Amino acid sequence: MGFNLQNLESALKAGRKYTYLPFSPHFFESVSSTNQTLWNLLHQGAISGTVVIATQQSAGRGQWGREWISPIGGLYVSVAISFDRKIEATDSYQLTFATAWGIASQLRQCGIDVGIKWPNDLVLNSRKLGGILTETKVNKGQITQAVIGVGINWTNPVPDTGINLESWQASQDFRPISSLEILTSKVLLGIESGMECLQQEGVSILLSRYLDLLTNMGDRVYVNNLLGTVVGVTPQGNLRVDLETHDTKELITPEIYIQPGTISLGYHKSSV
């Protein structure tokens, strides 16, 4: 059964609290990458709020140039966003945090206990439900335009470290998300509410909300063979880690900042 844009627009209208983004959705059965397709549309004159949705990507992209395996049955969606308030290029991770918090919050309101794994993954039952890829256009050190790409496992096959939403709903005998269109609406409304929070309430409020849902808080990690504890995230997206010290003269535990992509917090494989 094909994707129904009318059903999506009805779901968006029913759940909408903000009008930050003038959503204009475009659906494709298959694209190379929803982000790339959207950039192409933007070059042709598309505006902020333009959305590209696909049920399959042949060349999906993840963070740091990784391939994002995108089989049929998943949700792959990208949204174009322009900004009223200037955002420094060095603060681009704030867009990812806004997206992650917004989507997780929308799904939690449905009774789906989604958390966030630093910096850009959505998790359910300690397994990966989805990921986010933020790409930006920068002028004079400031972000002028962004494309936010989101992939969510819906009915598609997943690796041992992943989980898809339909299987989880079946195991719970609980089905708050009844269709791909409903899921898409939750993702889009989540992105919108996250951007609204960042633009209107500021990064401090956004970060506190992001940290409330961060599953890595308190995790013990090794950095250069030194043991530390995850205590937060900086506004630039770096992980804050308190290193343990065995020097009795050292009264303050040293805190270090770790850039995204330089440490893997990993997933535990599940036998479920």
Range of weakest confidence among 61-65, 111-115, 127-131, 156-160:
61-65
What confidence score (pLDDT) does residue 253 get? 67
Contact 198, 95 (CB under 8 A): yes
Q: What is the pLDDT of residues 205-237, one digit of tens each?
A: 999 999 999 999 999 998 888 899 999 999 999
Predicted pLDDT at 75: 95
Contacts of 175 (CB under 8 A, 6+ apart): 169
Mean pLDDT score of the chain, rounded to an integer? 90
Topology classification of domain 5-212: BirA Bifunctional Protein; domain 2 (3.30.930)
**Over 191-232, what HEC string results?**
HHHHHHHHHHHCHHHHHHHHHHCECCCCCEEEECCEEEEEEE
Q: What is the pLDDT of residue 12?
A: 95
Q: Structural domain boundaries of the chain?
A: 5-212, 220-258
pTM equals 0.92
